[in-house]
């Protein structure tokens, strides 16, 4: 596939993983804001990584222009999708507070898909690109739902959630999206749905989850990247 990358306020790990995947899987990274100037050329998919300071008019304009020229736009990594590290640990201060002017790129642009992760593993990026290339809508569904603009969602559900196998949309609606994709410092509802498998603790990039039987989240380390929630076998079905 022909791929472009717009890298905003970020650490660069997502961009690096994307480059590795493009090389190993035979996708062509035709344009990257890290090395190319000018406008985004005609590509199959534009990845946006990083967050945006809303006072930074220049960044917002670059984002807007890039997005308007692409057919498929993907938030690459949690900074772009949820604000992640950039919003919650900016300047390396305690993540418990957040930087109220920094937002995920997805807040300012319509994105079609999001790949959660800090950074998303090469496997996740490769598997997404494969699904996109094949036009496999079932496999793309979680990426589509995770890309929604959650900030304005009505927390009152149209229908109650009855069990762990709720559709990905319903489950996402139950969480506090302004801070994270999970259930506001609870990966999934602890008593009712959590089986105690430990996948969340293994996936957490910030070492913020301790698990003895059920996960305990250390708020002072959590960067609200949503990786635990997206990984949890009971957030949505694989």
Partner 1 sequence: MRGLLRKILGKKDRRDGKMKLDPELVGEYRGAYLARATEERFREAGQDGGTVTALLAHALEEGYIEAAVVSTTGSDPWRPRPTVATSVEELLEAAGSKYSISPNLSALETAVGSHDSVAVVGTPCQVSAVRKLESHAYGVADVAERVKLLIGLFCSENLTYKGLTELLEKEIEADLSSVERMDITAGKFTVVTSDGEERSVSVSELRRYANEACGFCTDLTAEDADVSVGSTGAPDGWNVVLVRTGRGERILQSAVDAEVLEVRDVDEGDPATLERLASDKRERAESARCAVWRPYPTSP
- Is 69 near partner 1 (CB under 8 A)? no
Stretches 55-63, 76-84, 140-148, 187-195: which one binds ligand SF4 (CB under 6 A)? Answer: 187-195
188-227: which residues touch ligand SF4 (CB under 6 A)?
188, 194-200, 215
* Token pair 């380390």: residue: 221
Reduce the DSSP state of residue 112 to 3 states and report it. coil
CB of 177 to partner 1, least distance (A): 12
Q: Which is nearer to ligand SF4, 120 or 215 (CB)?
A: 215
CB of 16 to ligand SF4, least distance (A): 27
The b/e string for 162-191 (b: 16+ C-beta within 10 A; e otherwise) is eebebebebbbbbbbbebbbbbebbbbeee
Here's the x/- map for partner 1, 177-216, by CB under 8 A: it reads as ------x-----x-xxxxxxxxx-xxxxx-----xxxx--
Q: How many CB atoms lie within 10 A of CB 41?
A: 12
Q: How many CB atoms lie within 10 A of CB 83?
A: 29
Task: Provide the token pair at 171.
Answer: 């489950």
Cα–Cα distance for residue pair 212/214, rounded to 1 Å:
6
Here's the x/- map for partner 1, 142-161, by CB under 8 A: it reads as x------------xxx--xx
The secondary structure of residue 54, as a DSSP letter, is T
Of these, 18, 115, 132, 223, which contacts partner 1 (CB under 8 A)? Answer: 115
- Is 120 near partner 1 (CB under 8 A)? yes
- Is 180 near ligand SF4 (CB under 6 A)? no
User: How many residues make up the chain in this entry?
Assistant: 238
Cα–Cα distance for residue pair 238/236, rounded to 1 Å:
7
Q: Which does 187 bind (CB under 5 to 8 A by kind): ligand SF4, partner 1, none?
A: ligand SF4
Strands 209-211 and 113-115: unpaired
Site residues for ligand SF4 per CB under 6 A: 187-188, 194-200, 215, 232-234
Where do contacts with partner 1 occur on this chain (CB under 8 A)? 115-118, 120-124, 127, 139, 142, 155-157, 160-165, 174, 176, 183, 189, 191-199, 201-205, 211-214, 227-228, 230-234, 237-238
């Amino acid at each position: 596939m022909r791929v472009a990358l717009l890298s905003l306020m970020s650490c660069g790990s997502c961009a690096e993983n994307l480059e590795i995947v493009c090389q190993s899987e035979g996708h062509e990274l035709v344009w990257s804001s890290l090395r190319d100037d000018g406008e985004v050329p005609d590509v199959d998919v534009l990845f946006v990584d990083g967050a945006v300071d809303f006072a930074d008019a220049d960044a917002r304009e670059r984002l807007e222009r890039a997005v308007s020229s692409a057919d498929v736009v993907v938030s690459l990594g949690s900074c772009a999708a949820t604000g992640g590290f950039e919003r919650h640990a900016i300047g390396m201060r305690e993540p418990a507070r957040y930087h109220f002017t920094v937002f995920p790129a997805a807040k300012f642009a319509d994105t079609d898909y999001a790949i959660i992760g800090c950074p998303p593993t090469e496997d996740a990026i490769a598997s997404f690109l494969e699904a996109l290339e094949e036009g496999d809508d079932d496999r793309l569904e979680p990426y589509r739902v995770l890309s929604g603009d959650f900030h304005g969602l009505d927390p009152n559900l149209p229908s109650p959630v009855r069990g762990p196998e709720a559709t990905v949309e319903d489950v996402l609606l139950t969480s506090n999206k302004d801070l994270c994709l999970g259930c506001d410092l609870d990966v999934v509802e602890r008593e009712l749905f959590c089986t105690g498998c430990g996948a969340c603790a293994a996936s957490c990039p910030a070492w913020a989850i301790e698990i003895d039987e059920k996960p305990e989240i250390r708020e002072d380390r959590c960067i609200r990247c949503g990786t635990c929630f997206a990984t949890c076998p009971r957030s949505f079905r694989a």
